[in-house]
Amino acid sequence: MKPLNRRQFLQTSSLVSMGFLVKSPAFASDFPQVRVPSSQRKFNSPAIEATIERMKGSIKDTEMAWLFENCFPNTLDTTVHFKLKEGRPDTFVITGDIHAMWLRDSTAQVWPYLPLITKDEKLKQLIAGVVNRQTECILIDPYANAFNDGPGHSEWLKDHTDMKPELHERKWELDSLCYTVRLAYHYWKTAQDTSVFDDKWLKAAQLIIETCREQQRFKNRGKYRFGRTTSWSTDTVPGNGYGNNTKPNGLIHSIFRPSDDATQYPFLIPSNLFAVVSFRQMAEIADKVYKNITFANECRAFATEVEQAIKKHAIINHAQFGPIYAMEVDGFGNCLFQDDANVPNLLSLPYLGAVNLNDKIYQNTRKFILSDSNPYFFKGKAAEGIGSPHTLVNQIWPMSIIMRAMTSTNDTEILAQLRFLKNTHAGTGFMHESFDKDNASQFTRKWFAWANTLFGELLLKIERERPHILKQQL
C-alpha cells in the first residue's frame, strides 16, 4: 500500500483499519521478539550491538531494557540505505512509515549514534553519507523539507510551489537547514574528519545563509511561496502563500513548523534560536576548515543579529510566569503562547545548545510549557505531556515526554517520564508519534524512527549522568 503523508494519518476516517491509528495487541509478559531479525536489518553495527548488551546489563527494569533494545537501533535496522556514490559515502534515510528523507528527521535519527563512530568505521561512513546526502539536497532546493531518493514522483507534485522531481515536499522550515549544520559540525568534532567539507558543502552553507537572509524579508517577501489544495487549514499557507503579514525586525521567517504545520506568526522563535547556534557552528567550520575568514565573519554577524532580534522581540512578559519566550511572533506585537511537541520547540532549547538550562527566561518558559496555560499540554489517565495541532487535541507525543526528561535535573521528574514511556508503548515495544492521553492503545505512527532513537538517546544520557536511576525498578 502506498504510504500516507503525515497529515493523512489523521485526515482519513479509517485510520484504525489502515493501521495508522493502532489499537495495540495484548501485551505478552515474556517480551516477545519485535526487533527486526539480524538478516533483515538495513545496517549492522558491532558498536551498536555492544551498547545494547551493556545497557541491558545496566537497566534493572526488564521492560525498559527491552524497549531500549528495540528502539535504539531502529533507525539502522529499518530506515537507512547506504552506498558509495562517486567514491563518497551516500546515505538516504527514510522516516519510517513514509518513504522519504526529511532533513530534520534524518539528522535526529542518526544523532544518537555519533558517540560510537570512533569505534565503528562503517558506522562513521554511514553518518558521513547522511551529511553528504543532505548537502546534495540543499543544493537541489534549500526551501524543501523532504526529498525522494533521486528523481521520482511525489504525491505533492501539484502543490502550488516550485516543485522538482527530487522533492517529496517543499515546506520552508528553518530548522531543516539548522539540523544539517548540527550533524556536519558534530560529525567533524567527534570523528575529527573533514572529508565531508568539500566544495559542495561550502556552497550549500553559503546557500543556507543566502536563504535565511532572503527570509528576513527586509527588501521584499522573496521568491518562496507555498499552497496546497486541501481541507486541512494548517497544511497550506495563508497570505497568498507567503504566510500571515509580518513586520521585518531581523528575525527569520519560517512558514512551517517542525511539525510540517503552517505557522500562525511566521517568526518561529525556537527555530530562530536554533539558527543562532547553527550560524556560529558554520562560522567555526568556515574559519578552521576552509580558512574562509570572510564567510566566517558573515555567519557570526548574522548570528548576533538574530540573537539581538530575539532578545528584543521574542521575550514577552506573561501575566503568570513573567518573561518567557513566545513560540511565534509577527513583529507587530502579536505573539503565540504555546509549545509544540516537535523539536525544535521551546522545551528543547537547552538540548539543542540554544540556551543554558538554568537560564531564568528558559525556566520560566518551561514552567509555562508544562502547565495548563499551554493549550497543548495534556493530562490524562495514561500520561501527561505536550501534543501538537498536527495531531489535534488530547494526543500526547512520547517525544515531548523524552525531551522533558532530557531537560530535567530532577530525579523524581525523570523517573516519572520513564514510567510514562514504559506504560504507553501499548505493548508494541516501540515509541510512537502520539497517543491518546487516556488510552495509549490508540496511537499514531506505528513506525516512527526518530522517536525510537531519541528514546535510546535518553537512556544513554541517564546512564552517563544519573546511572542510579537505571538501577531502579520502574
> Can you name the residues that pair with 396 across neighbouring β-strands?
435
52: in domain: yes
Q: Collect all residues with Cβ–Cβ distance below 8 Å to 182 and sequence separation of at least 6.
A: 107, 111, 277, 278, 281, 352
413 C-beta neighbours (distance < 10 Å), count: 14
Nearest Cα to 458, choosing from 171, 37, 71? 71
List the chain residues with pLDDT less than 50: 1-28
CA-CA distance, 45 to 54, in Å (whole number)?
Answer: 14
- Give per-residue burial for 441-474: e unless 16+ CB within 10 Å, then b: bbbbbbbbbbbbbbbbbbbbbbbeeeeebbeeeb
292: in domain: yes
Our measurement of the distance from residue 90's CA atom to the centroid of its chain's CA atoms, rounded to an integer in Å, reads: 21
CA-CA distance, 53 to 65, in Å (whole number)?
Answer: 9
Q: What angle do CA 186, 452, 74 make, to 5 degrees?
A: 85
3-class SS at 232?
A: coil
Cis before 344? omega within 30: yes
3-class SS at 276?
A: helix
Q: Quick one: cell of 153? A: 514522483
In the chain, % helix, strand, coil (3-state, to 5) comes to 45, 10, 45
Nearest Cα to 51, choosing from 74, 76, 72? 72
CA-CA distance, 57 to 53, in Å (whole number)?
Answer: 6
pLDDT digits (tens, 9 = 90+) for 124-157: 999 999 999 999 999 999 999 999 999 999 999 9
pLDDT at site 318: 98
Q: Would strands 21-23 and 439-444 be described as parallel, antiparallel, or unpaired? A: antiparallel
CA-CA distance, 292 to 290, in Å (whole number)?
Answer: 5
Q: CB burial class (10 A; 0-12, 13-18, 19+) of residue 284?
A: middle
Q: What angle do CA 35, 38, 43 make, to 5 degrees?
A: 100
221: in domain: yes
pLDDT digits (tens, 9 = 90+) for 152-198: 999 999 999 999 999 999 999 999 999 999 999 999 999 999 999 99
pLDDT at site 30: 72
Number of domains composing the chain: 1
Whether the CB-CB separation of 340 and 327 falls below 8 Å is answered with: yes
CATH number for position 204: 1.50.10.10
Q: Would strands 21-23 and 80-85 be described as parallel, antiparallel, or unpaired? A: unpaired
DSSP 94: -
Label each residue of 193-217 as H, E or C: CCCCCCHHHHHHHHHHHHHHHHCCC
2: in domain: no
CA-CA distance, 175 to 98, in Å (whole number)?
Answer: 20
CA-CA distance, 315 to 212, in Å (whole number)?
Answer: 21
3: in domain: no
Domain encompassing residue 247: 8-470
1: in domain: no
pLDDT at site 25: 42
